[in-house]
Structure 1
């Protein structure tokens, strides 16, 4: 069966996450329903990352096997037409034919996330639901310096949800940069894979550094504790975006 790669963008606000759920809307189910309406086939879509409820994507990737060798642009346009008709907040940005051994999840070499913080006294009006509003001034330079202590291979139990189903808490964090651009603070994280809630947990703890409640040494001590209770506040899903997957 021909295999197609889908490059996907979505607003995670209306969904209970990427993964299909029996009684709640999901991004996966929305696309699967569009595929069925377009092709008449009932399929199971595999995504590169299972984003949580409320988390967005500009670079999610999935693959699907179809019974007919459609033109990729036909698949893209047909799926977008059905998604739009259904009122979904999901867009198929691109479709390409891929080899049978391509797997959106297991072929991935790296995943890249962006977390956005609106750091100003006034609440966001235009970007509500797409940023974490933090009115208290944050020291982005201190956050960046502290973040470098989390790079490398570590036991990230402190920054792992108690609901995480990964077999091991060991992960290699390749990038964790904190950059200020006016009132916007961007946290960019890259790794081959992440634990459940890892990025949001790290951002919430970095906020503690930014507001002066923690030092870089405190953040490193939280990591070394390998204890979920040592984690700072878990940042809300609003500001998190899956931006890119490398293959």
Structure 2
């Protein structure tokens, strides 16, 4: 009887050890499978609710952020914030290969306590290390609307974060000749050429005119194709001071 009990005890101990080892191996296998699924697998859901979704490269650098307003990211240049805080723009933010913000799709719309509203939509792409140079934009300040496609020029140097930081510091100076001179140098750094300029605008202005503006490198409109709010159509040619030097139809010949 004693020998039988001993054999049974040995079998029970063996089965207990076997069960424990098997359980551990099963847990390890499940962990490895789930880990592999997390890395390489696909997840399919019918509905996903989130405050923010980050799309990153294998090295962890950001490529795309989809966010609500509160969780929206600060502006990044080479992976570092440069003074424009987050929490103020809901939508999509794009990043280049160096973790620098290079465009986005953002939008808003709200009424204040007086019943006045402001709404906007903005889809843009940035020049390398600079600000936006190609964008679709809708701005509506309680019925004062401007909508269109813009093509801009930006200077190559300094990089936009440095330009913006210097501009903000200069704005804080007391009004006077020193402040004006520094702002002029910042905004027109090379031979009077501006740091940035609107070169092309295609859209509708606040006066409800449909128009195309073609501007020179200083941002001065030189050709305008216009259909105004009354339906009158014309083409204007302008000099560098903004004066119309020729217009079609040429009413002087009628």
Q: Is TM (by shorter chain) over 0.5?
A: no
Higher relative strand content: 2
Q: What is the TM-score normalised by the length of structure 1?
A: 0.24
- The structure, 1 or 2, with the larger RCO (C-alpha pairs under 8 Å, 6+ apart) is 1
